[in-house]
A and B are shown apart, each in its own frame.
Chain A
Amino acid sequence: MKNRKYVYLLLIIAVILLLVGLYQIRQNNQLVESKLYFATPDAMYLVPENRLVEKDQLYLNTIKELLVGPENSELRKTVPDGVVVNSVSLDGKLATVDFNEALIEKHWGGSSGELITIFSIVNTLTQFSEIEEVKITIAGETRETLAGHMGLDDSFEFNQEIVK
C-alpha cells in the first residue's frame, strides 16, 4: 500500500511538471492565426488562407509565411523563390517592408504578375489594425518600380477589388 501511494505521488508530480512545461513553451511561443493572401491561378484575384504564425515578431513572421507559399494546392505563390524579407518596420500606421534584390531580379513581370505580388504583401500586412499603409523597399532603398508598371515611391493601402 505504501509503495502504491508513492507511485501515485510520482505520477502526479510528473503530470504537473509536464503541464507546467507545456504552458511555458506555449507562453514563449504563442501562435496567432493570420491571413495570408495567395493568388488564383488565372492571376486575377487574391484569396486569403489562414495560418498559425508565431506572435513574437508577428509582421515579419507573417511575411515569412507568405513567402513559403500556399498550402491550398489550388492557389499560387505570389512572391518568387529566393526572396528574403529583411525587415518590417512600423512608423505610425505605415509599415515599411524590406526585401532582398531577388524580389525584382527574380520577378516574372507582367502587370497582373506585379499587382499580385504587391497586393498579396499589402493585403496580408494591412489585415493588422495597426497597419494602414505599406511601403515596399528593396535592400533598404526605395526603387522606382518592382516590374515596370507600379511605382514603388508610393505606399499602398488594402486592395478590396483584387480579393475574391
Chain B
Amino acid sequence: MAARHKLLVVTIIIFCLFSLSQPVQAADNKLYFNGKDISDEVETIQQEGELLIKARQFAKLINAELKWQPAIKTLRLTGSNGEVVKLMVGSPYIQIRKNAIKSKTGLVLNEGHTFLPLAGVIEAFGYLIEFNREEKEVYVFKPETVIKEICWSEDGNSLEVIVDELPPYRIVKTDNPNKIILEIDKARVANEFTDNVSNNNFYLQVKNIADSALLRLIITSKYPIPFNRDGGISEEEDRLVLSFLPQITNIAWTKNDMLMIEANGNINKPEVLYLEDPRRMVIDIPSLMFNELDINLPDNEWVKDIRVSQFKYDPVTLRIVLEMKNNDILQEIPREAGDMIAFKPAKETVVDNLQYKNGQIRFDSTAELVPDLFLLEDPARLVINLFNAERGASFLEEIELDKQLVRKIRTARFDEQTIRIVADLAEMTGYGWREEKIEQGYRYLIELKNKFSAINLVESPDYQDINILLTGGVDYEIKKFSYPHRIVVDIEGAVDNTENLVLPEPKGLIQDIRTSRYELEGKELVRLVFELKEFNGYEVKTDPATKKINIHLPKEEKIALPKQGDIIVIDAGHGGFDPGAIGQNGLEEKDVNLEVALRVAQKLKEAGQKVVLTRSSDKFISLKQRVRLANSLPAKLFISIHANSFNNNISSGTETYYSDTNTNAAASKKIAQLIQEEMTEKVKLADRGIKEESFYVVKYTRMPAALLEIAFISNPHEEVLLGQSTFQEKVAAAVNEAILRYLQLEVAE
C-alpha cells in the first residue's frame, strides 16, 4: 500500500513539475479553416510556442478516423484518403506513414483530452497552414491544385506553369512593367517543386496568401516584361502558359557583309529610316524585346557602330541604330526563316519600263534589287519600295488602268533613297514576285492574286486525301454531286494557273481531275472537279480562308468518317476585360454565364458525358478562339451560354439562337428547340422562341450549335434571378436535360 502511495505521490509531483515547467495555456489565436473562422468551434492550447488542437475535434474537422490506444498512449488518425498519422504521449515525433517529423511538444494530455500539434499533423493530410504571427491568425486550407513545375518553354518565349488540374487564376494588374503577378486559387507547390524560372534576367517568387487561400507567383525582371495582360495567358491541358514577346538573341555583321538579326521568335516587319549628321540607319522592330547581348561587329567598310535599345514599351519596339561610314543604305533581303532578318548594302540602280499586263506589274532594273512589298487597306493598295533607285524615262509617275485588279499605278520618290510604286487595287489580293535575268540587267515581275502551288493526292490504307495548296488564303466551297460521284471545289480569289500545274495522276478513289473557270453571281471562280470511283462520304478538314484545302475521303463505307466525337463543348460567353452586359445593380453577364456553364458541365459529367469548357475562369477569349477550340475537338455539340440585354428595363424572357449556315443546321435547330422547350418548362420566363441568326460561335462551329440567352440582365427582376444560385441551378438543369434529350434522339435515329 505504502509503496503504491509513494508511487502516486511521486507521479503527482512529477506531473506538477512537468506542468509548471511547461505551462499550458488556452491559445488566443484565431483559426480559419478553408477560409472560415472556426476559433469558437475548436479548443486550442499553446505550449512551447506550438499550437495544439483537441484531437477529437481535429479528426472531425478533416473527416479522419481517430483511434486512442490508452495502453500505449498512442493516437492514430486515418484520413479519408488513407493517410495514417501516429502520435505518442511523451514523444515529440509525429509518424506519418513510414516517416517521422519532429514537433516541439508531440501529443499532449490536458485535462483528460489529447491535443496534437496542428502544424505538423495537418500537412500530412494535404492541408496547408499559414501563421500570421502578428495578428495571431492561423489559416488552414486544402489546396486543390498542385503546381508541379514552372519553367521556360523551349524557345524561351513563354513561361509554363505545370499543374495537376487547371485552377481558377488571374493576372493581377500592377503598375510596374517589370513585374507580372499570377494568382492561383487554392494551390500549393509540389514537394519536388524547383524554380526553373529565375535566371540573370528573371526572378520568381512564390507567395502563399493564406488568408485568401491562394498562391501568388510573382515574376520580376530587370527589364519591363513585354507581356500582354489581356490574352497573354492561355490554358493548355495541364498548364497555364504566359506568352512573352520574343527577344533579340543575336546581331552580327557577317563575313559576306550582311547585317544579321536573330530572335527567339518571329520578327515582325521592321521599319527603317535614315538620319543624317552623322549618318545613321535606324531599324525599328515592333513587338521585339531587348536582351543584353554582345554585338559582333568586325571592321568593315559600311558600318561603324551598332546600338540596340528598347525604344518603346507601348507598343513594344526594339530599336537598332547603325552608325554608317558612308552614304550607303542597307536593304532587307527576302527571309528564309521568321526568326531571322538580314540586310545587305544595296547597289545603285536605274529602274525603267514599268508596265502592267494580265495581273502582273513589271519593271526592269540595271542592278539586282530586292523590292519591299506590302499591302495597305482602305483603300486597298499594294506598295512596292525600291531602294537606292533612280527612275528611267519609261517609269511613269502615273498609269491609269482601271483594270479588274488594278485601277491605277503611281510612282514617286518616297525619300532620298527610295522609289515607291503604289498600285491602287480593286480589292485586297495576294501577291508574289520573281526576278528574271535580262540582257540589260534584271526584270521584276509582281504577280497579283493567289495561285495554285500544287494539287496532290495522298493515299493511306483507309482514306484518300485530296490536298489543294495555294500561295495565299482563299475562300472556297466544296460540293458533292452524283451520277457520277464528284467532289467539286469552287475557289474564289485565285488566279487559274492550273494549266501550268502538273496535276497528279488519278489514283485510288479518284478517277479523273478537271479544272475550269466559272462565273457564279458575278464572282470569278476556279472550279476543280474530282470524279470518284465510289463515294463513302467526305470530310473537309480545313478552315475557311486557308492556303491548304484538305478533303478526306474514306475508302470503304464501313470505315465511317471519324465520328463527330463525343465531347460536348460548353461556352460561357464573354469574360476577362469583356464583362458582357451589365445589370442596373452591377451584376456582370460574364459571371452569370460562367456560373451556369460550370453547373451544366458538372451535371453532364455526372451523366457520364465528356465536357470541355471554352473557359472555366474569368478570362477573355475571342469568338475566333472559341470556335477554333471547338473545331479542334471531336465535338458533337456546342452550347453557348449568355444573358440578354437591351436599353430599357422591361425587355424580358428566354430565347435560343441557331444558325442556318452552321454545317449541321438541322441538328442545331433541334438542340435550340429542345433548350428553349426545357427552359420554358423549368425556368418559366417569357418564351421568346428560337431564332435563326448568324452569331459567330453558332455559325462557324462545325458541329450542331446553339446559343442560349437565359434572361435579360437589363431587367431588374431578371437580374436578381440571374444572380441567384437556385436560379442558376434551375437553368443548368434545363440545359442539361435538353442536351441529354438531344443525345437520346440522336441514338434513336
**A residues near B, CB below 8 A?**
39, 41-44, 76-77, 80, 108-113, 115-116, 140, 144-145, 147-151, 154, 161
Contacts and interface: CB of A to CB of B under 8 A. Distances in A.
A41 B714 CA distance: 12
Contacts of B582: 109
Contacts of A110: 580-581, 589, 642-646, 709, 712-714
A44 B695 CA distance: 16
B79 to A, nearest CB: 46
Interface in B610-667: 622-624, 642-648, 650-652, 655, 657
Nearest to A39: B646
A154 to B, nearest CB: 7
Report which residue of B582, B589, B647, B699 has the largest number of chain A beta carbons within 10 angstroms of its beta carbon: B647
A116 B646 contact: yes
Contacts of B699: 151
Contact of B581 (A39, A41, A108, A140): A108
Nearest to B700: A151
A122 to B, nearest CB: 12
Contacts of A150: 693-696
B623 A115 contact: no
Closest 9 CB pairs of A and B: A110-B645, A109-B581, A43-B646, A151-B696, A110-B644, A43-B651, A149-B695, A109-B645, A113-B645
Given A109-B589, A115-B693, A154-B694, A144 B646 contact: no
A101 to B, nearest CB: 15
Contacts of A113: 581, 644-647, 714
Contacts of B696: 145, 149-151
B286 interface: no
10 contacts: A41-B650, A43-B712, A76-B646, A109-B582, A110-B581, A110-B646, A110-B709, A110-B713, A144-B622, A150-B695
Interface of B: 378, 573-574, 578, 580-582, 589, 622-624, 642-648, 650-652, 655, 657, 688, 691-697, 699-700, 707, 709, 712-714
Nearest to A96: B378
- Which of B581, B646, B707, B714 has the most chain A CB within a 10 Å cutoff? B646
A109 B651 contact: no
A80 B623 contact: no
B583 to A, nearest CB: 10
A39 B651 CA distance: 11
A140 to B, nearest CB: 6
Given A113-B581, A151-B694, 4 more contacts: A42-B650, A111-B709, A113-B714, A149-B696
A117 B642 CA distance: 18
B73 to A, nearest CB: 65
Contacts of B573: 148-149
A148 B646 contact: no
A98 B385 CA distance: 30
Interface centre among A39, A42, A149, A151 (most CB of B within 10 A): A149
Contact of A112 (B378, B697, B709): B709
A144 B620 CA distance: 13
Contacts of B694: 150-151, 154
Contact of A148 (B623, B650, B688): B623
Contact of B651 (A112, A151, A161): A112
A150 B659 CA distance: 12
A144 B643 contact: no
B580 A111 contact: no
A145 to B, nearest CB: 6
Contacts of B714: 108, 110, 113
Nearest to A161: B692
B578 A148 contact: yes
Nearest to A140: B378
Contact of B642 (A43, A77, A111, A144): A111
B688 A41 contact: no
Among B574, B580, B696: residue with most chain A CB under 10 A: B696
B626 to A, nearest CB: 10
Contacts of A80: 647
Contacts of A154: 694
Contacts of B657: 111
B722 to A, nearest CB: 12
Contact of A144 (B623, B651, B688, B713): B623
Contacts of A149: 573, 642, 695-697, 707
A110 B623 CA distance: 15
A76 B644 contact: no
A108 B647 contact: yes
A144 B624 contact: yes
Nearest to A145: B623
Contacts of A41: 648, 650-651
B441 to A, nearest CB: 39
A116 B714 CA distance: 15
A115 B696 CA distance: 12
A70 to B, nearest CB: 12
Contacts of A147: 580-581
Contacts of B655: 111-112
A154 B693 CA distance: 13
Nearest to A156: B694
B644 A42 contact: no
B648 to A, nearest CB: 6
A77 B647 CA distance: 8
A109 B643 CA distance: 9
B273 to A, nearest CB: 25
Contacts of A76: 646-648
A105 B482 CA distance: 51
A111 B707 contact: yes
A62 B580 CA distance: 29
B647 A112 contact: no
A112 B650 contact: no
Nearest to A78: B647
Nearest to A159: B693
Contacts of A109: 580-582, 589, 645
